[in-house]
Amino acid sequence: MKSRELHTTPVVVVSNYRVAPLSSGKYLHSFTPESTSTPYQFIANQEALLEEGERYSFGYTIDNGINWVDTSAITKAESVDPDASFYVARLLGEELREVETRKSDERVTHTSQDGYYLGKKYAWRIYGMAIPRDVFDLYLEHIGHPQVPCFTEGSRSVAYLEDGLASAMENLRKSLVKVANNRFKSPLVPQKKWFQVKGISAITDKK
């Protein structure tokens, strides 16, 4: 997955929502948050994807000074769309990959030679930021994802085989059952009655 330098917004109220036809047959959707004059836009079909006056978080890229909304990364503020959250987490994780891989190589030591292993903190930042770190670890433990003992910054820990992490997170996403708002459960994380999936504006590398 190629990094697209995705930015995310806090919760904003959509205002000045407009839909204008393009020569391609598609439509240019544009709006500004209620609290600022910053314009955002995206190309889609004629039907409105946002509602005037409603609260949203979304991801966007900047191209020649224009804020282009990624329509796969739009979610209403009142609830969490896990598909959008996992999608944004993977994009942001790919942007962090070079830095986090280097940190893991510098700070994590182990003796395994059967593949490339990431320290668990760094693996979570690249692959799992849509969910809390403890849920990421519990899930990988439950499915038996390959791990090896390691030392990181002088402390005992574990490192995860990178191969298979992306598909493991995709399997988790597909297994989610909504409990309420941002609370979900999964048969693949039986240790938890429910856990949070972060809204896209809350996806960070903090626990």
Q: Are residues 104 and 183 both part of a single domain?
A: yes
Asked whether residue 83 is domain-assigned, the answer is: no
| Closest CA relative to residue 200, chosen from 42, 44, 69 | 69
Q: Are residues 119 and 67 both part of a single domain?
A: no
Asked whether residue 90 is domain-assigned, the answer is: no
Q: Are residues 46 and 99 both part of a single domain?
A: no
Q: Are residues 127 and 53 both part of a single domain?
A: no
Of 75 and 83, the structure prediction assigns the larger pLDDT to 83
Whole-number Å distance between alpha carbons of 192 and 198: 16
Asked whether residue 87 is domain-assigned, the answer is: no
Which domain range does residue 182 map to? 95-202
Contact by Cβ (8 Å): 99, 114: no
Asked whether residue 39 is domain-assigned, the answer is: yes
- Give me the percent of the chain exceeding a pLDDT of 90: 78
pLDDT at 115: 92
What mean pLDDT is predicted for residues 95-102?
95
pLDDT at 32: 96
Q: Are residues 25 and 106 both part of a single domain?
A: no
Of 76, 110, 137, which residue sits at a domain end? 76
| Closest CA relative to residue 58, chosen from 173, 193, 203 | 203
pLDDT confidence tier of residue 75, bands split at 50, 70 and 90: confident
Count structural domains, the chain.
Answer: 2
Judge if pTM exceeds 0.85: no
